[in-house]
Amino acid sequence: MAKWFGNVTSIGWGVLLLGAIAWVAATALGWIEAAVVAMAALFLLIGAAFFMIGRTRLAVATVVEPPRVAVGQALTGELRARNEARGPLVSTTLEFPIGAGGVTYDLPMLMPGAEHTELFVVPTQRRGVIDVGPVRTVRGDPLGLFRRVQEWTDRTEVFVHPRTTHLEPFGVGLVRDLEGSTAQNTSMSDLAFHALREYVPGDDLRHIHWRSSARHGQLLVRQFLDTRRSHIVVIVDSSPTSYDSEEEYETAMSIAGSLLRRGILDEFDVSLATGDVLLVRATAAGGGGRSALDACSRATPQPNNLVEITAEAAGQAPDASLVMLVTGRYPEFVTLQRAAGQFSVDATTVAVRVDSSQRAGFKAVADLPMLTVPDLDQLPIVLAKGLSG
């Protein structure tokens, strides 16, 4: 019974309430007009209820391939509906939500076992995550007193990744790892032998190279280079007040996606922090390229503080080797300095300003490389100069 009442629309409840009030008035006051209104409401409800008799038996499936595309790429899908009832299926309406909008299909009469196919288009003009489905059948009466909605498919997420550009390999290493590359920091206990130096009190005697010591007449100890594996952290300023326009924010997300994609191709660990999205240590072996760009698709402008976002990222990735701070034209340099100071001094930190009103350029201010990028196409040249500088 409760489920049946759930099919009554607001109009239906209004008619029911009007009929009840009219019946009370007719009974208490003897108004014939009120009795007529009550009977009319009753007949309307009974007549509308006949349209709800019976069950819809459908097999509905949606196919969206591929589930991940870049901005602007064409993406179509297919909806298939098959009548699984023993009798014919009269014309039925299918509601199909796609993102913020949706489409409505009027199925023709289907004989038992018959199938109907519709094609649909998924909008990909903007970066984001688009919910496709669930497909619903709507059954009701012409007056709108009753409405029964039944879902036939699950909700599917389609990821529209930001536009990216090709970048040259980074070649930066920091995180200690048995299979990592050597960095320039010396160490007294690692795998990559570097040189011999004179013994000083406190050195581990196990590192004394006895043969060379005997040859030179003084104690010499082995010195090593740290072996490290790169960990690239990309931080995107999510505050709308940092950018001059929504297009500049989208350029920032495209820069982030390009940096993360390059890191995965170099088989580095990558992390992303922006707004309410935090992706920590994605790897190529674990499908990091897909998860990193998916995280970029989920990012939305948020009134967050760049320093706070950076501090959270530094706490999650203290071993970062390359930190890319991507922001707009408005944050002050001291804010970028404070954000860069959240990471270890061993990390290479680069700030990237998105400013469509300026020419592409590079400069180092107080040991913080600053890149100005007016659009995504300028990123490879400016970034190569910034990292090499």
pLDDT digit string (tens) for 357-382? 999 999 888 889 999 999 999 999 89
Domain containing 46 equals: 2-52
The predicted-structure confidence for 23-32, as pLDDT tens digits, reads as follows 998 888 888 8
User: Which pTM was predicted?
Assistant: 0.76
Say if residue 279 is in the same domain as residue 375: yes
Residue 342: inside a domain? yes
Say if residue 20 is in the same domain as residue 48: yes
Residue 170: inside a domain? no
Residue 157: inside a domain? yes
Tokens of 151: 């879902």
Residue 171: inside a domain? no
Nearest to 370 by CA among 301, 380, 360: 360
Number of domains in the chain: 4
Residue 332: inside a domain? yes
Say if residue 72 is in the same domain as residue 102: yes
Say if residue 205 is in the same domain as residue 263: no
The pLDDT value recorded for residue 209 is 79
SS3 helix, strand, coil % of the chain, rounded to 5? 30, 35, 35
Q: How far apart are CA 38 and CA 310, in angstroms?
A: 67
Q: What is the residue type of 178?
A: L
Most confident listed range (1-5, 44-48, 85-89, 333-337): 333-337
The predicted-structure confidence for 213-259, as pLDDT tens digits, reads as follows 888 888 888 775 444 468 899 999 999 999 999 999 999 999 999 99
Residue with the two structure tokens 């009469």: 109
